[in-house]
Structure 1
Amino acid sequence: MENTKYAVGLDIGTTKIVAMIGRENEYGKIEILGIGKSKSLGVHRGVVNNITQTIQSIQQAVQEAEGVSGLKIKDCVVGIAGQHIRSLQHSDYITRPDSEEVINEDDLDKLCNQVYKLVMLPGEEIIHVLPQEYKIDGQAEIKEPMGMYGGRLEANFHVVVGQISSIRNIGRCVKSSGLDLAGITLEPLSAANAVLSQEEKEAGVALIDIGGGTTDLAIFKDGIIRHTAVIPFGGGVVTEDIKEGCSIIEKQAELLKIKFGSAWPGENKENEIVSIPGLRGREPKEISLKNLSKIIHARVVEIIEQVYVEIKNYGHEDQKKKLIAGIVLTGGGSQLKHLKQLVEYITGMDTRIGYPNEHLAGDSDTEIASPVYATAVGLVMNALQQQKRNATFKAEPTAQPQLEDQHPNVDKTLGNQESIETKPTPKPTAPPRERKSFLEKWSEKLKDFLDNAE
């Protein structure tokens, strides 16, 4: 696979595994070249609980994507989520030895590395350290401290923590499927990249990604991620409730939810009934749509209220932390009828459904522009950005041109060159080096671990 041309995102979800191949066109939009999906066996609430089945599901999705696109997949960017992910706020500072020198990258790295020394619960590891605002000598609200003077450098951090064994298991599944790990990214961040605009992130917005096994929350304000949370319930529990409440099999419960389900019981009249074929010659079952929506409503309210507790924990009622852009719903679960109205009713916040079509090329398949594929599209975008960064590193000129090349008219046979001015020409300016994100550094550590574990 030619790295400069296309990139692959692998979304390992609870209900489905999606492999998506995309490339950037000349307008900066993403063309989806191939997509493959398979039923996710061996993943429960975002956590791998059967390695062999997960490997088979990944291989099936990858083969389908390769078949559609005619391309060979070698590496991919993988999303991580799951109920083991949690986040916390942390403040830290360093005292610089020489306040007469400007703050540089080493100072920022030193400050961030200090956060990694926080003591976590057994089996947990810090995955993501996201600096928010900096303070220099007590001066607050500094976005970019590089190049400034100061003795005491402080920062507020958003720290994302996860179960290290769960993440290594995902890495092991990807490697065993014959793929290289190009990078790891948090799924709520990927979905946010795909469906949120920069204006929304500035104004303040809560992204709720309702998947099969988990509901992910990411809150942005002033363009910075402020809060993340994973609620261990999703569309799967709703299906489970329908199955139990109506005494039918899971497949029928899922179909009922998609075709006739509604999150608002008042919509259905008492006499609206759907008939479900009985098993093996048994009588068909009649189910009232009003009862169906009552079952769905009860569980969905519980999920939304848990998410709303997290939004309150962030402190959205504080004037400075107000989420002006409200809530954006995405993921497969967001397609439930009347969910938007229910969320607005419970939270009192403006709500819209998030589609990843803003970043997709105009001729993209309508199916791909569905909220179901928001995370996969975000992972492809992330993979393409990573490739660009790597290309920039490689493109940096290393050596200064020789003196001879600077003065092509110098007669090289002249022994005495004192009369000739040989001022060194300014070094060509290299494109500014973008700092590697901490998650990229961390995923490199994980790759080394997996390589050594073989």
Structure 2
Amino acid sequence: MGAEPFIVLEIGTSKICAIAAKLNQNNSFDVIGVSNEPACGIRKGEIINLDLVSESLKHVIQNLEECAGISIGSVDITFSGAHIQSTPRQGVIQILDVEHGVTQDDMNLAVNAAMAGRLPEDRIILQPIVQQYKVDNQNGVSNPKKMLGSMLTVDLLMLHAKANSIFNINTTLENLGIDVTDYHFNAMSSAYSVVTAEQKKCGVLVIDIGAGTTDFVVYVDQRVVTTGVLAVGGDHVTNDIVSAFTISQKSAEQLKCQSGSALTDSSTQLEKISVPAGMGFRACSIPLSDLNIVINARMDELFRMIQDELGKDLLLSLGAGVVLTGGGAKLKNVTRCAERIMGLPCSVGTPFSISGLTSAYQSPEFASPIGMLYYSSQNVPGNEGLIRKFFKWVKAL
């Protein structure tokens, strides 16, 4: 029989993707099934129509079960949403046994102390992200186990989300007979599959450009420095094209993906693109230079927003530059656009190769679910996520 497969599920604005994979003897993955379908009933990462989302999830799960020849009872979820936020917290405790040094119990107590501060009633904790420990006056400790001292301090980022958004996902999957084991933030999931430990040490910014949102995470000295979500994504570029040229959503998406560029180019001023009639819209001809002006304006805005969020000093500490993932990373000249705004080298992050995964999925828009596999495999067996514990507590009331 072998070990149970890892089942991960990405719930995005434009697509829902599920992957089943097993760890082999070389501690790498063998993918046994993939299911991917367009998402319905989701906007900017949040459910707006439970019935449509339920139907989409049902199809994805059933297809994966048939493809992999398994029965699915639980999943790990990677997702985004403009409602996700991070708050810095600090916890300080006295070390329990000063003669033998810091233990795992001490570390857990410090994290619990950092998370003790109350959140607004409509928020729920997704996960604590430990940034560093401090033993007495020694800063920058990544693993304080067995270190001697009297006081242990932990600095962490607490990721939290709108409670109703999480309830909606949980309830929808529970109605399909699926238990949610854990949740993870999209940008961090993507980072697991596209950047190396060396890049995280040197300092790297990972930007996941989705359809409804753009997520980012910054690593310096192999620790998470900050995260964020912007309510701007590829769909906004498409909507800009619709408004500028009065064409259908479908035509605008095709123009963006097939002909558009994140940079303007004077050499395209005389080139025009024919848009056929359809869906109630008349046929028309659009100058390619005008199309690229519209796309460039939105992409410039997006990268400037991230630049403003991070600040000049933090950007200067990113020795490994910027890595773009998500469907938006496939836009022509998007890396050059990011480089021009941020003044840093930029590349497109392609997921690390995994056995059994076809070339169609070795693409930046699948970085998040593939990265979630790595994250799930590194979690301690039997270590329940905070949200799962919370829902068990609610059911027991």
TM tier, shorter chain?
A: over 0.9
State the partner residue of 1:333: 328
Q: Percent identity?
A: 28
When residues 450 and 275 of structure 1 are mapped into structure 2, their CA distance, relative to the original with a 3 A threshold, is farther
When residues 444 and 248 of structure 1 are mapped into structure 2, their CA distance, relative to the original with a 3 A threshold, is same
State the partner residue of 1:381: 374
CA drift of 1:33 comes to 2.1
CA drift of 1:364 comes to 3.2
Q: Find the structure with the greater CA-based Rg.
A: 1
- Residue type at the aligned position of 2:160: V
For 1:145 and 1:26, how far apart are their aligned partners in 2?
A: 31
Q: What's the CA shift string for 1:366-408, capped at 9, x where partnerless?
A: 111011111111122333344xx42xx7xxxxxxxxxxxxxxx
For 1:156 and 1:41, how far apart are their aligned partners in 2?
A: 39
State the partner residue of 1:367: 360
Contact 2:95 2:101 (8 Å CA) reproduced: no
1:443 correspondence with 2:397: no
Contact 1:126 1:160 (8 Å CA) reproduced: yes
Contact 1:93 1:111 (8 Å CA) reproduced: yes
Contact 1:205 1:323 (8 Å CA) reproduced: yes
State the partner residue of 1:40: 39
1:27-106 to 2 correspondence within 5 Å? 27-96=26-95, 99-106=98-105
1:3-402 to 2 correspondence within 5 Å? 4-96=3-95, 99-266=98-265, 268-279=267-278, 283-312=282-311, 315-317=314-316, 322-356=317-351, 358-361=352-355, 364-386=357-379, 389-390=380-381
Contact 2:238 2:253 (8 Å CA) reproduced: yes
Report SS of the residue matched to 1:79: strand
For 1:85 and 1:159, how far apart are their aligned partners in 2?
A: 10
Report SS of the residue matched to 1:384: helix
For 2:90 and 2:396, how far apart are their aligned partners in 1?
A: 34
Contact 1:268 1:289 (8 Å CA) reproduced: no
For 1:313 and 1:91, how far apart are their aligned partners in 2?
A: 25
When residues 443 and 269 of structure 1 are mapped into structure 2, their CA distance, relative to the original with a 3 A threshold, is same
CA drift of 1:74 comes to 2.5
CA drift of 1:142 comes to 2.1
When residues 283 and 183 of structure 1 are mapped into structure 2, their CA distance, relative to the original with a 3 A threshold, is closer
For 1:240 and 1:281, how far apart are their aligned partners in 2?
A: 17
State the partner residue of 1:423: none
Report SS of the residue matched to 2:359: coil
Report SS of the residue matched to 2:360: coil
In structure 2, runs of 5+ residues without a counterpart are none
CA drift of 1:177 comes to 2.4
Report SS of the residue matched to 2:89: strand
CA drift of 1:85 comes to 0.9
Report SS of the residue matched to 1:148: coil
When residues 171 and 3 of structure 1 are mapped into structure 2, their CA distance, relative to the original with a 3 A threshold, is farther
- Residue type at the aligned position of 2:368: T
**TM-score, normalisation: structure 1:** 0.82
Q: What's the CA shift string for 1:252-303, capped at 9, x where partnerless?
A: 1111111111111116511211111223787521111111111111111111
When residues 30 and 99 of structure 1 are mapped into structure 2, their CA distance, relative to the original with a 3 A threshold, is closer
Contact 1:19 1:62 (8 Å CA) reproduced: yes
CA drift of 1:112 comes to 1.0
CA drift of 1:101 comes to 4.7
For 2:279 and 2:79, how far apart are their aligned partners in 1?
A: 41
**TM-score, normalisation: structure 2:** 0.93
- Residue type at the aligned position of 1:208: I
State the partner residue of 1:413: none
State the partner residue of 1:396: none
When residues 281 and 191 of structure 1 are mapped into structure 2, their CA distance, relative to the original with a 3 A threshold, is closer
Q: What's the CA shift string for 1:189-241, capped at 9, x where partnerless?
A: 21110111111111110000000111010111111111110111110111111
Q: What's the CA shift string for 1:16-75, capped at 9, x where partnerless?
A: 111112223344332322221222111111111222211111111122223333333222
